[in-house]
Structure 1
Amino acid sequence: MNKIEKWHRGIILCLGFFLLYLANHWTLLTSDDYMYHFVFKDTLPTANLEKIHGIWSIIRSQYVHWQLWNGRYVSHAIVQFLTQFDGYVFDILNSLAFLTLIRLSCQFISFIMAKRISPIWYLLAFLYYWLFLPSFGQTALWLSGSVNYLWTSLFYLTFLLYFVKTLEYSKVEWYQKLSLFFLAFLAGACNENSSPTIILIAFVFLIYKDGFSKKICLSHFMSLGIAGLSFLTILLSPASQTRGQSDLNIAIVSERLFLIFNQLWSQFAYLYIGLLCLFCVIRFQKLEFKELELFWVMVLFVGHLVAAVILFVSPEIPDRTLFCSAILLGLTLGMLLLKCKWSLFLQLVVVSSFLVLFSMSYTRAIMDIHQSYLEVRAQYQAIEKSDPNTIVVVTKLSEPKSTYNAYRLTNNLADFPDYWFNQWMAAYFEVKGIVGIEK
């Protein structure tokens, strides 16, 4: 990449950072965020509340969280670490995390297809993730949700990319093995559907790459073992076992699978149509896939489906759980796009069309996010001015209109002080209680 292309890429990423930072800055705390400021001792505030302060308090907190809530101790430990800092720290880091996802995606596509990519791909990746990530507000702006989905995607994508790259090395050095093992641990401890999917993809590639050549790469097999054990620590947590218990039978499984595929179609219908169109373009242009390219297109698309189908064991399947599926589908589309031959005119048409869609989407989203920001700020001000020994009455938020708004479909104030959210928010502001009323 020459200097001009580096400048173009830098401009794209800087503009992307500014737009993301604005959305992050206007997204304040919601739902579980308040409780993560404290050392977990129970599901509700206890008499001897203790705020998170230092690594040891996080370790103690996550042990209880692992028992009572769920097994995602890596992401929730990061959440509790971030609660020790002012909000702008998370706003900056979260904006950078989104740009890192873009960079990792472009690197992965470029490496697999063995082609250099231009800065325009960073713009396309930005537009794709903005327009097609499910429940953007919950998965890329909300503190707890973003760390659980956006940040963990950096762990498993980095692991997969490093796993694939190091398989090409004639010799893996000890520090590279340690890096691979550490990344494997993080990738295995992400969440209940993305971790097993990535482990499966890496295993299939290892068998494909080394199984037929009879070359046994012990360090890579060991990394998959570490990832598997790490995933088991999530799956076998007492809280996950309790929450995941359900009487599965053919009728229930069939019903859930139907709902999952319906959800996939509802979320990604336009992308599936685009996928078919790209295959038609490739065939029309009489381009032939290399064996490795075809392998990855098939494996990533199957992985996209697997990451969703695994959810049939869960009694609830919110849209945000399709985050990993969206990433794997995006990588599949990216590889097909890079395979096609595009004239400059067609490139301009495609990019311009997506920029128009983005402009309309971002304008509506940021206005809705800002409206919620003003309302939450008004709540904060009312609470801070009140007598801490009284039950504070504040106005509830108006219903968010955009899926880019982190307050949409996340828990918030109820009209009685004993509701779990009200109790944790009251504990955070150190007041006797909080009640939400309608406007």
Structure 2
Amino acid sequence: MKERFAKQKLVSINMAEEKHRKAIFLSLVAISFFAILIYNMFTPAMTDDLIYKKTVLEAKSFLDLIRQEQEQYMTWTGRSVNHMILRCFLSGSKWIFNICNSFAFILLTLFMYYNVENKKKYDVFAYLLIQLFLWNFSVSFEQTVLWETGACNYLWGSMIIMGYLSLLRYCIKEDYTGAAQVAPAVGLFLLGGLAGWCNENTSGGCILLACIWIGIYIWEHKRIRIWMATGLAGVIAGFLCMICAPGNANRMQFMEEEHDGLFALVSRWLKCCLAIRNHFFILIAIGIVAFVIVRLQKAAWKKSKNMFLYLFVFFATCFALVLTPEPVARAYFGAGIFLMVSCVQGIIDVGDKDLYIKALKISGAAIFTLSFIFTYLESGAHLMRIYRESSERFAYIEEQKAAGNMDITVPLLRPGFENKYSDAYNSDLSGEDSGYWVNVGYATYYGVNSISAVPREEWEEY
């Protein structure tokens, strides 16, 4: 009788703890949404946003947007899924994008969270780590998450890819059979098509991981499900549609390379290695420390399987960029997502029965969070100042155009507001050449002859 009472009491305590964790977890998700929404609100339209918007506004219907994307597919790039998302947002209010982009960011974090194994239900610690890693270690956060054109290409692409992998993982876990396979088969094919058509190297990493998961299932169960075949067919079909776009060849003509032949290949490998060091050294170091502790705790090697799988896909996604002459830094964003899942998995794998290990994990996360809060507040203040000056500049251009001035001089952004969450200075107008492509893009968007820029002190005198 006493044992039964003790067992009921333990169950009651566990349910209370889970309810408490759920409340904190949902609160953290809500706070994270508003945190990214604020940053989206104070990120102004920049460079390609205006250039693409000029074209998008010429469309009279959704069918016209599809025709525009078809032309781009034939002449410039095969990332049609991402660019159709961008065109839809540019045809509407920036507010719609701000809200949807914030939801996309949260969905990405939840998909990453779902792919971490051996965690508690409503694991606040695991979700907090994902948020901290994304905010602090994402490659070019200002270009891949906040900048509208970049976000549609990288954040949304990674979100779709992680969504596909999450659905595939769920289906493997449920192991649907018989008539129950129909819905997963259709869903995985359609979502797989989108995931494969998102981003060259990240979609390639997605295919690799899907093949590994399905291969492990076949090895263990000696069979394959219909939804596995359709899911893999969908993602491969989407990938082929992207890389076979005629526009890719045209785009490659504009990419210059210092070397050719074998030296070019060696140079590309070296650049990838240096990029991994520059973008991911801290994350890799964290992963190594976590793995060493797991091994010292004498855990079974199988416990680290998920960590190693995502780490392997991370490296494969990075080195896939050897196939392109000069990849931009933001091309490593998707690879970083895979590495973050691997690192969080490694930390979760570390057993915390030892008081010192538990104290290290909790205090480390607390200090990391405190540091991020200070950075968020300071950078947020700078974002607001940049947004204010950009809005004033846009309003001034409209005012001058209405007054008949077709050669407009505007102030450059004040120095001193630079921060890691804004690409405004990197994408600002040229103060020396009104023929600079950004200046030309602004002039084309506003329908004036030219837009020049000078330091604010000179502009006020001017």
Scaled by the length of structure 2, the TM-score of the pair is: 0.86
* 1:7 and 2:41 matched: no
1:254-273 matched pairs, under 5 angstroms = 254-273=266-285
- Deviation track 1:387-426 (CA, whole Å, cap 9, x = no partner) reads 3441221112346632311325336456555444334323
SS of match in other structure, 2:421: coil
Q: Verify the 8 A CA contact 1:402 1:408 in the aligned structure 2.
A: no
Structure 1 equivalent of residue 364 of structure 2: 350
Compare 16-25 and 115-124 and name the one that shifted more.
115-124
Question: Using a 3 Å threshold, how does the CA distance of structure 1 residues 185 and 416 change in structure 2: closer, same or farther?
Answer: same
Alpha-carbon separation, structure 2, partners of 1:53 and 1:341? 59
Q: Verify the 8 A CA contact 2:310 2:341 in the aligned structure 1.
A: yes
1:281-360 matched pairs, under 5 angstroms = 281-290=293-302, 293-342=303-352, 343=355, 344-360=358-374
Cα distance, 1:216 vs structure 2: 2.2
Alpha-carbon separation, structure 2, partners of 1:176 and 1:416? 55
Bigger fraction of residues in helix: 2
Question: Using a 3 Å threshold, how does the CA distance of structure 1 residues 38 and 93 change in structure 2: closer, same or farther?
Answer: same
Q: Verify the 8 A CA contact 1:305 1:325 in the aligned structure 2.
A: yes
SS of match in other structure, 1:315: coil
Structure 2 equivalent of residue 409 of structure 1: 426
Alpha-carbon separation, structure 1, partners of 2:119 and 2:23? 23
Structure 1 equivalent of residue 377 of structure 2: 363
Alpha-carbon separation, structure 1, partners of 2:285 and 2:116? 21
* 1:78 and 2:94 matched: no
Alpha-carbon separation, structure 1, partners of 2:446 and 2:282? 45
SS of match in other structure, 1:393: strand
Structure 1 equivalent of residue 62 of structure 2: 55
Question: Using a 3 Å threshold, how does the CA distance of structure 1 residues 197 and 408 change in structure 2: closer, same or farther?
Answer: farther
Q: Verify the 8 A CA contact 2:294 2:350 in the aligned structure 1.
A: yes
Alpha-carbon separation, structure 2, partners of 1:3 and 1:185? 38
127, 130, 133: which one aligns with 1:125: 130
Q: Verify the 8 A CA contact 2:129 2:344 in the aligned structure 1.
A: no
Q: Verify the 8 A CA contact 1:72 1:189 in the aligned structure 2.
A: yes
374, 397, 400: which one aligns with 1:386: 400
* 1:277 and 2:289 matched: yes
Cα distance, 1:79 vs structure 2: 0.7
Structure 2 equivalent of residue 43 of structure 1: none
Give the gaps of 5 or more residues in structure 2. 1-14, 457-462
Alpha-carbon separation, structure 1, partners of 2:324 and 2:429? 24
Q: Verify the 8 A CA contact 1:39 1:60 in the aligned structure 2.
A: no
Alpha-carbon separation, structure 1, partners of 2:438 and 2:71? 19
Q: Verify the 8 A CA contact 2:21 2:122 in the aligned structure 1.
A: no
SS of match in other structure, 1:215: coil
* 1:18 and 2:37 matched: no
1:183-262 matched pairs, under 5 angstroms = 183-244=191-252, 249-262=261-274
Amino acid at match of 1:64: E
Structure 1 equivalent of residue 11 of structure 2: none
Alpha-carbon separation, structure 2, partners of 1:334 and 1:347? 12
Q: Verify the 8 A CA contact 1:394 1:434 in the aligned structure 2.
A: yes
- Deviation track 1:165-196 (CA, whole Å, cap 9, x = no partner) reads 21231414322211111110011011111011
Structure 2 equivalent of residue 27 of structure 1: 43
SS of match in other structure, 2:368: helix
Q: Verify the 8 A CA contact 1:244 1:313 in the aligned structure 2.
A: no
Answer with 1 or 2: which has the greater Rg.
2
Cα distance, 1:214 vs structure 2: 2.1
Q: Verify the 8 A CA contact 2:185 2:230 in the aligned structure 1.
A: no
Structure 2 equivalent of residue 434 of structure 1: 451
Amino acid at match of 2:44: L
* 1:424 and 2:448 matched: no
Equivalent pairs: percent with the same residue? 23
SS of match in other structure, 2:37: helix
Question: Using a 3 Å threshold, how does the CA distance of structure 1 residues 52 and 384 change in structure 2: closer, same or farther?
Answer: same
SS of match in other structure, 1:167: helix
Alpha-carbon separation, structure 2, partners of 1:114 and 1:405? 34
Backbone CA RMSD of aligned residues: 2.2
Cα distance, 1:271 vs structure 2: 1.6
Cα distance, 1:211 vs structure 2: 3.6
Cα distance, 1:102 vs structure 2: 1.2
Q: Verify the 8 A CA contact 1:53 1:84 in the aligned structure 2.
A: no
Cα distance, 1:84 vs structure 2: 2.1
* 1:160 and 2:177 matched: no
Alpha-carbon separation, structure 1, partners of 2:119 and 2:369? 27
Q: Verify the 8 A CA contact 1:27 1:142 in the aligned structure 2.
A: yes
Cα distance, 1:94 vs structure 2: 1.3
Question: Using a 3 Å threshold, how does the CA distance of structure 1 residues 411 and 214 change in structure 2: closer, same or farther?
Answer: farther
SS of match in other structure, 2:198: coil
Compare 385-394 and 121-130 and name the one that shifted more.
385-394
Give the gaps of 5 or more residues in structure 1. 41-49
